[in-house]
Amino acid sequence: MLGAFANAFRTPDLRRKLLFVMLIVVIFRFGSQVPAPGVNVGNVQACFAQIENDGLYGLINLFSGGALLQLTVFALGIMPYITASIILQLLVVVIPRLEALKKEGQAGQTKITQYTRYLTLALAVLQATGIVALARSRQLLQGCPDPLLYNEDSLTTMVVMVITMTAGTAVIMWLGELITDRGIGNGMSILIFTQVVATFPSALWQVKVSRGWWVFALVMAIGLVLVAAVIFMEQGQRRIPVQYARRMVGRKMFGGSSTYIPLKVNQAGIIPVIFASSLLYLPAMAVQFAGQSRSAWADFLNTYLVSGDHPLYMAVYFGLIIFFTYFYVAITFNPQEVADNMKKYGGFIPGIRAGKPTEEYLNYVLSRITLPGSLYLGLISLVPLVALVLVNANQNFPFGGTSILIMVGVALDTVKQIESQLQQRNYEGFLR
């Protein structure tokens, strides 16, 4: 593996791509540390240590690498783009115009990408306005010695901060596209990976400070086991064989080849975890907006659906992940479309008739392979909640949940792309 890295840096064009990615990552992290105009840095830093473990904005803060709670230029991180991408994927299924664009190939995909950018900016304006409004009402970082986070509490300061955070989201999109075009790997995925990894050392160090070296060593050992398990599950797939019959087109013979349809165990990726986490943040937000005048329903939500260490919260979280896994797989993989395309080009699954029987067989396999995938996502996502109870870690516990799924998934994809380019140059890759 080290030899493969050495060969990658010995290749001039590959070395330029890797150095370019590193440069973009440095710029990205620098923007995540620069405070937005008008922010009182001293008060924010004083509050940050107390609010860092708050679960209300944990998901957004995870994708911003800790920049959200510090109100930096890149405070929104990549979260608006992720939300916009998910919304567009869902709308493609229900809006015929978007579905037609998807079928147009590269031109249609370019148009959908453009819509994603516009929606990202709209969501960035909404999120930035909400964060600035909460900060102005002194509800963003509660329990601080001095909750005033601005040097000057005026409308002009608020507008400048919203514009700055929205522009920061636009710059993040541009940096991600630069990595995709001129670097290696998917740019947005690498930026997400960077923000998640940025919180990794502090989360580990908190375990060491709160529980000592023995628990820290135990957490590291369990973490390595979890990483190996995630790699095994992420690589797992069911390969459905497909045979193409010979057919004559003009004077040439086509077909007669065999291939397969790869159905991954984790077909939905991390999307169900994001859906479930976002939905469970609604009760926490409702409790926070209720303020001091809490009613019986607010006390119920705060007791059972806000605290991550309650069994009911864990059960609801686990159930939502299973539901959203089936939901997302159902809207992103269309067995009828796959069966029709196979029939159109003379393909068939050995032992299964083309057309409707093929569609039913794909539905049968997909519904059963999604079950272990959903259970796997649910169990991995419960790891940080269990760690919250056992080792007093924060809700962004590194070895579990969204963090480990993102780190392993993006790392595997990037390594495969580097290995592919190494093999094109007759070098030995990472996997021997």
User: Tens digits of per-residue pLDDT, 407-424?
Assistant: 888 888 888 888 777 777
Tokens of 281: 């943040």
CATH classification at residue 2: 1.10.3370.10
For residue 29, being part of any structural domain is answered with yes
Residue 249 burial (CB count, 10 A): 8
Question: CB–CB of 31/168 below 8 Å?
Answer: yes
Based on the fold, state whether residues 304 and 370 are members of the same structural domain: yes
What range defines the domain where residue 257 resides?
200-399
In-domain check, residue 368: yes
**C-alpha–C-alpha distance, residues 1 and 6, integer Å:** 9
Query: What are the angstrom distances between the C-alpha of 30 and each of 37, 76, 78, 351, 410?
Result: 15, 14, 15, 58, 21
Same domain? For 29 and 59 the reply is yes
Predicted confidence band at 291 (pLDDT cuts at 50, 70, 90)?
A: low
Same domain, 239 and 128: no
Q: How far apart are CA 70 and CA 208, in angstroms?
A: 24
- Model confidence at 393: pLDDT above 60: no
Task: Place 207 in a pLDDT band, splitting at 50, 70 and 90.
Answer: confident
Mean local confidence (pLDDT), 150-174: 84
Q: Are residues 179 and 318 in the same domain?
A: no
Arithmetic mean of pLDDT, 199-219 = 77
Q: Are residues 215 and 126 in the same domain?
A: no
The residue out of 198, 215, 248 marking a domain boundary is 198
> Residue 84's pLDDT is what?
87
Query: Is 305 within a domain?
Result: yes
Mean pLDDT along residues 210-231: 81
**60 within domain boundaries:** yes
Handedness of CA 322, 327, 333, 335 (dihedral sign): positive
- DSSP conformation class of 49: H
Whether residue 256 is found in the same domain as residue 237: yes
pLDDT higher than 80, residue 150: no
Closest CA to 56 of 126, 125, 144, 131: 131
* Residues 131 and 210 both lie in one domain: no
State residue 79's pLDDT score. Answer: 81
Assess whether 118 and 6 both reside in one domain. yes
Same domain, 292 and 326: yes
**What per-residue confidence (pLDDT) applies to 72?**
80
Question: Which is it for strands 258-264 and 237-244: parallel, antiparallel or unpaired?
Answer: antiparallel
Judge whether 209 lies within some domain.
yes
Distances (CA, A) of 418 to 23, 108, 183, 328: 18, 28, 10, 29
User: How many of the other CB atoms lie within 10 Å of CB of 327?
Assistant: 16
Contacts with 144 (C-beta within 8 Å, 6 or more apart), sequence order: 43, 46, 47, 50, 51
List the single range of 77-91, 96-110, 118-132, 274-288 with lowest mean pLDDT.
274-288
The structural domain count of the chain equals 2
Domain assignment present for 416 = no
Weakest-pLDDT range from 60-74, 203-217, 329-343, 360-374 = 60-74
User: Do both 136 and 119 map to the same domain?
Assistant: yes
Alpha-helical (H) ranges within 183-255 are 187-198, 200-211, 213-235
Return the DSSP state at 184.
S
Q: Using the predicted structure, report yes or no on whether residue 168 has a pLDDT greater than 80.
A: yes
How is residue 252 annotated by DSSP?
E
> Which carries the bigger pLDDT value, residue 146 or residue 69?
69
32 and 158 in a single domain? The answer is yes
Mean pLDDT of the chain: 78
